[in-house]
Amino acid sequence: MDVTAPVARLATAAALLLRLLTARSLQPSHAGALLRADDEGLHLIATDGEVVVHLRTPATVHTPGEVVVPRRAVADTLTTLDAADARLTVQGGRLAIRVPGGRFALPSLPDAAPRPGHLPPPRGTVTGDDLRTAAVPVAGAASREHALPMFTGVRLRTHDTALTLFATDRFRLAAASIPWQGATAAGFDPASGGDGRIEALVPAAVLARAAQQLSRVPAVHVHAGDDLFALSWDGGSITTATIGGGYPDAQLSRLLDVTPACTVEADADALAHAVDRATAYGGPHGRVTLQAIDGALLVRADDPLTGESEQTVKATVDGGHTIRSFQGRLLLDALRAFAHHTVRLRFQEGMRATACTADLPTATLTYLVVPLRTPPSTDT
Amino acid sequence: MDVTAPVARLATAAALLLRLLTARSLQPSHAGALLRADDEGLHLIATDGEVVVHLRTPATVHTPGEVVVPRRAVADTLTTLDAADARLTVQGGRLAIRVPGGRFALPSLPDAAPRPGHLPPPRGTVTGDDLRTAAVPVAGAASREHALPMFTGVRLRTHDTALTLFATDRFRLAAASIPWQGATAAGFDPASGGDGRIEALVPAAVLARAAQQLSRVPAVHVHAGDDLFALSWDGGSITTATIGGGYPDAQLSRLLDVTPACTVEADADALAHAVDRATAYGGPHGRVTLQAIDGALLVRADDPLTGESEQTVKATVDGGHTIRSFQGRLLLDALRAFAHHTVRLRFQEGMRATACTADLPTATLTYLVVPLRTPPSTDT
């Protein structure tokens, strides 16, 4: 292998490779990246055991070929390097990287890196911005408890021109819907297998990490096959296994059918600040009580050890003077998903979940939080 | 106690209190802050067992008095609070904090907080900016190994109109000198006990933490007594015990008497980037070799497992073609102290330390790094 590549582009790709992969794998074969030069340019391919990332970066290929090298060393060597182009050459079991004023030689690793594989069929396309708006807060509602694999995933389903994303850890549920362009409309060859629809359960952490990194990509293509899910864009792809087993789509959809007993609108940031402060007063579980009164939400918390707090947040209130208690941290996660917006809270009867929504530019986002049982009346 | 205080000033003081104290003490009595209202305003006094911090903030005192409350709760409650003034009232064993739209009640703690004590005598004054410029890099050269208390300190000594700061962990030594205004010149009453001179050994971590926070304070007064050291400024003070035992002042001064075999000047940032990259190639100990050649420094590192690197950094070289090896991390610490400046490296004969210096606006800073024994000639 012998190529000349622009340092800045290559450094960006090497850094993105690290960010799309988790660092926690201890398997030595997961520390490498396969660098492959062919007529498409230079490919960087790596895995952490959970996802396979394949990035392409422009390069002038003098001699095609490939090598596996430690991927962190590649990224660390290229970052802050003050040169326009780098020459990468494989010589006697080493990758030599040469720039004006510097030369580096990395030992090649035993070739255990993943081979560039086929992506599952393309199903349709979303914008990176929409994907992040939807995937990051929704993935935040998924469970981190790996004993319940189903709840560690984000459910993706298409409905005509919308892609919906769902996740729940059973104490809260987040659902988002973003514009979807089916594969045929997006210009994919129908023979590639995609029918413009999708129904998949994807690891939430993987989806959130990828969505964070792709927020500026204009077109993110969504691929799904029997057991594989992938996102691809101009420059690369990330592939992961889907989570097997059924998903309670019908039950979750019913939960989103909200019948409000009281609807409240307030500035999401002001309310989040108040809930954050109150949580510190809410005892070991950070119990926070919201009470809708005329023109305001009362945010209260008290505990014999941590003290008590009562704050008033301006709000428009439509309906009865409802009172509900929540685990403050969960409520705060919900409110932060609506930062810089007016959030609408719909309180339902009894122990049914409270729904938070907002009118975002292109996405709809609903965050349900299950209330705690209201404590027996206190004397505060 | 009953006072009205501006929220922003009070929140700043509460946050500064947390930053000047370490969070690691597990003693419950170290979790509190004494709030005391008197004719000087509102005082916040707290300790972590190593330092005592005493801050003053303006307040209209309706009723003098005092209370001990959890200090983190005070800071968390006041931060992001959107109100001009807060009313603080002690009522039945609790501190009530009231702002428009919010009221909070914090349980008072058993009164184990420190009492505001006397500061040791004032010795002189420095600017906060000079103090940070000198204390942060010098403190970084102190040992973190508490088995050697003497080396965990920064030595402060005055020489006429200069305050010098020294620290060493025996592998490196940093020394700085900044302008010093003796106590009488600074306007302190001579009867207060200070003679304008100082000779103290102060915990490096405490000094660095305080200097970071005080960098914008125009006048920082330095106090020292038999066993106590303090910094005071308009708004507060921080007091700590000095480290006992002798300090090898004469030996360290001799080390600073540098006889260069070769002097090199280079851009500190470019050299630091090169050393940072090289360290990754320097094997388990991050061994990096500098070689002065005509018009440049060669930065080299190699190891059978991590590969090899050679970089050229532009430099002016005066003297023989010296070659020295260093522990990359220690060399990097030294170079980072000179960020954005041209650094001068003076290599000495044999195993004597290499001195890094730069012409800073008001301070002088010298960082000595002990070279490693040059390895037997390698074939690279």
A50 vs A312: CA distance, rounded Å: 46
Given a contact cutoff of 8 angstroms between Cβ atoms, the answer to whether B27 and B68 are in contact is no
DSSP conformation letters of A102-157: EEEEEEPPPS-SPPP-PPPPEEEEE-HHHHHHHHHHHHHTS---TTSGGGGEEEEE
| Shortest CA distance from B299: residue in chain A | A102
Give the E-state strand segments of B227-295 in sequence order: 228-233, 236-241, 260-267, 287-293
**Cα–Cα distance between A272 and A336 in angstroms, integer?**
7
Q: In what order do the strands lie in the sheet with A181-182?
A: A65-70, A32-38, A41-47, A51-57, A236-241, A228-233, A220-224, A122-126, A181-182
* B103·A310 Cβ contact <8 A: yes
C-alpha triplet B203, B208, B212: angle, nearest 5°: 155
Contact between A273 and B313 using a beta-carbon 8 Å cutoff:
no
Q: Do residues A36 and A116 touch, judged by C-beta distance below 8 A?
A: yes
**Cα A82 to Cα A101, A310, B204, B274, B341, distances in angstroms:** 9, 55, 36, 10, 18
DSSP class per residue in A278-325: HHTTSGGGTEEEEEEETTEEEEEEEETTTEEEEEEEE-EEEES--EEE
Does residue A182 contact residue A190 with C-beta atoms inside 8 Å?
no
Q: Which of the residues A97, A300, A305, A309 would you substitute to probe the B interface, choosing the one with the greatest number of B C-beta atoms within 10 Å?
A: A309
- Residue A76 and residue B312: Cβ atoms within 8 Å? no
Q: CB A308 to CB B105 under 8 A?
A: yes
Contacts of A94 in chain B (CB under 8 A): 307
Average pLDDT score over chain B: 92
Interface membership of B312 toward A (CB under 8 Å): yes
Cβ–Cβ below 8 Å for A313 and B101? yes
B103 contacts A309? CB cut-off 8 A: yes
Does residue A2 sit in helix, strand or coil?
A: strand
User: How far B171 CA lies from chain A's nearest CA (Å)?
Assistant: 26
User: pLDDT category, B379, cuts 50, 70, 90?
Assistant: very low
Q: Which residues of A touch B32 (CB under 8 A)?
A: none
**Which residues, 6 or more positions from A147, have their beta carbon under 8 angstroms from its beta carbon?**
none
Q: 35-94 in A: which are within 8 Å (CB) of B? A: 73, 76-77, 80-82, 94
The amino acid that residue A285 corresponds to is H
Chain B: residue whose CA lies nearest to A81: B273
A347, A293 contact by CB (below 8 A): no
Q: Decide: A138 and A337 in contact? Cβ < 8 Å.
A: no
Q: Tell which A residues from 230 to 289 touch B, by Cβ distance under 8 Å.
A: 270, 273-274, 276-277, 280-281
pLDDT at residue B114, as a whole number: 72
Cβ B273–A310 below 8 Å, yes or no? Answer: no
Q: What amino acid occupies position B246?
A: G
Instruction: Check the CA dihedral A180-A183-A188-A192 and report its sign.
Output: positive
Rounded CA separation B196/B304 (Å): 57
The alpha carbon of B46 is separated from its chain's Cα centroid by a whole number of angstroms, namely 20
Cβ distance B105 to A270 less than 8 Å, yes or no, reads no
Please measure the distance between the N-terminal and C-terminal CA atoms of chain B and give it in whole angstroms: 74
A258 SS3 class = coil
Q: DSSP of B305-353, one letter per residue?
A: TTEEEEEEEE-EEEES--EEEEEHHHHHHHHHTTTTSEEEEEEESTTPP
Task: For residue A311, list chain B residues with Cβ-Cβ distance below 8 A.
Answer: 101-103
Tell me the H-state helices in A141-264: 204-213, 249-255
Q: Do A311 and B102 touch (CB under 8 A)?
A: yes
* Cβ contact A94–B307 (<8 Å): yes
CB proximity B103 to A under 8 Å: yes
What pLDDT is attached to residue B73?
93
Whether the pLDDT of residue B142 is over 90: the answer is: yes
Is the pLDDT score of B378 beyond 60?
Answer: no
- Write the DSSP symbol of residue B285: G
Alpha-carbon Rg for chain B in angstroms? 25
Size of interface A-B (CB pairs under 8 A): 86
A contacts of B86 (beta carbons < 8 Å): none
Mean pLDDT, to the nearest integer, of B123-139? 96
CA distance A121 to B266: 55
**Structure tokens that stand for A225 in this block:** 């096959």
Greatest CA separation for chain B: 80
Chain B: nearest CA to A275, how far in angstroms? Answer: 11
Whole-angstrom CA distances from B367 to B157, B199, B356, B363 are: 17, 21, 5, 13
> Would strands B220-224 and B287-293 be described as parallel, antiparallel, or unpaired?
unpaired
Chain B residue with minimum CA distance to A312: B101
Dist. CA B76–CA B204, nearest whole Å: 28
Q: How far apart are CA A16 and CA A44, in angstroms?
A: 10
CB atoms within 10 A of CB B305: 9
Cβ contact B187:B140 at 8 Å = no
> Cβ–Cβ of B307/A106 closer than 8 Å?
yes
Q: How far apart are the first and last CA of chain A?
A: 74
Pairing of strands B287-293, B260-267: unpaired
- Of all residues in chain B, the one with the smallest CA distance to A277 is B77
| Alpha-carbon span A129 to A181, nearest angstrom | 14
Q: pLDDT tens for residues B183-223?
A: 776 667 666 655 789 999 999 999 999 999 999 999 999 99
Identify the structural domains of chain A with CATH numbers, from first to last.
2-107 (3.10.150.10), 122-247 (3.10.150.10), 258-369 (3.10.150.10)
Distance from CA of A226 to the nearest CA of B (A): 40
A contact test, residue of B308, B312, B336 with most A CBs within 10 A: B308
Q: What confidence tens digit (pLDDT) does each residue in B13-72 have?
A: 999 999 999 877 777 778 899 999 999 999 999 999 899 999 999 999 999 999 999 999
User: By the CB < 8 Å criterion, does A107 face chain B?
Assistant: yes
CB distance A82–B281 less than 8 Å? no
Cα separation, A68 vs B97, whole angstroms: 62
Alpha carbons within 13 A on the beta-carbon side of B130: 22
Burial class (CB in 10 A: 0-12, 13-18, 19+), B342: middle
For the CA atoms of chain A, what is the radius of gyration?
A: 25
Give the Cα separation of A211 and A217 in Å (integer): 10
Would you call A298 an interface residue with chain B, using a CB distance cutoff of 8 Å?
Answer: no
CA nearest to B97 within chain A: A309
Token pair for residue A142?
């998924």
If you count DSSP H runs as helices and E runs as strands, how many of each does chain A have, helices first? 7, 27
For B62-97, write each residue's pLDDT tens digit.
999 999 999 999 999 999 898 999 999 999 889 999
**B104 with A306: Cβ contact below 8 A:** no
Contact list in A for residue B104 (CB cut-off 8 A) is: 277, 281, 307-310
* Contact between B264 and B292 (Cβ < 8 Å): yes
Q: What pLDDT is recorded for position A380?
A: 39
Yes or no, beta carbons of A312 and B274 under 8 Å apart: no
Beta bridge partners of A91: A94
Residues A101, B276: C-beta atoms closer than 8 Å: no
Q: Which residues of B touch A308 (CB under 8 A)?
A: 104-105
What is B135-192 written as a DSSP string?
Answer: HHHHHHTS---TTSGGGGEEEEEEETTEEEEEEE-SSEEEEEEEE-EETTTTT--GGG
Question: Do residues B72 and B18 touch, judged by C-beta distance below 8 A?
Answer: yes
DSSP letter at A257 equals S
Confidence category of residue B380, pLDDT binned at 50, 70, 90:
very low
- The verdict on a CB contact (< 8 Å) between B277 and A77 is yes
| Identity of the residue numbered B87 | R
Mean pLDDT by runs of 10 across the 380 residues of chain A is 97 96 79 94 93 96 95 92 95 94 93 76 95 96 88 94 94 95 73 76 97 97 94 96 91 93 97 96 94 96 93 95 94 95 96 93 94 62
Contacts of B288 in chain A (CB under 8 A): none
